[in-house]
Amino acid sequence: MGRPLTTVLCVDDDPDILAVVSLALRTLGGLTVHAAGSGRDALDVLAREQVDLVLLDVMMPGMDGLETLAAMRRDARTAAVAVVLMTARVQLYEQTQPPEGVHAVIAKPFDPVSLASRLRAIWARVGTE
């Protein structure tokens, strides 16, 4: 098994979701959490911080999650960062494969209590892909 998951970037335009995710991952999961309220903010955070995994909202104004993912994959510094999409429209991804470069899809609403363990399970799988 590879190194443990330690640092997550949560990207969501809803400040309440950012707060819940940050609290759950820090308090219950013992993780370091960075937060970004937009795709552009996420790219700024990624330019200055090392993160293991990005938890990325799909529907955001301006630069949406898939545009953010595409920008990450074009940048050599972030091309290999693990990405988990977070969306209320999970049905779209249940019928097809997630977009290339996405390791999993988590439905909104999500269970904050189990979020860290879900991300750790995904992280463990990423190391074997």
Give the distance between the most distant pair of CA atoms in the chain: 38
| pLDDT per residue of the chain (129 residues) written in tens, 0 to 9 | 478 999 999 999 999 999 999 999 999 999 999 999 999 999 999 999 999 999 999 999 999 999 999 999 999 999 999 999 998 865 555 545 567 788 888 888 899 999 999 999 999 988 655
Q: What is the pLDDT of residue 47?
A: 96
61 occurs within a structural domain: yes
CATH number at residue 100: 3.40.50.2300
74 occurs within a structural domain: yes
Whole-number Å distance between alpha carbons of 31 and 94: 28
Residue 29: which domain range?
A: 7-124
Q: What is the pLDDT of residue 88?
A: 80
2 occurs within a structural domain: no
What is the DSSP pairing of strand 82-87 with strand 32-36?
unpaired
pTM over 0.75: yes
Q: How many domains does the chain have?
A: 1
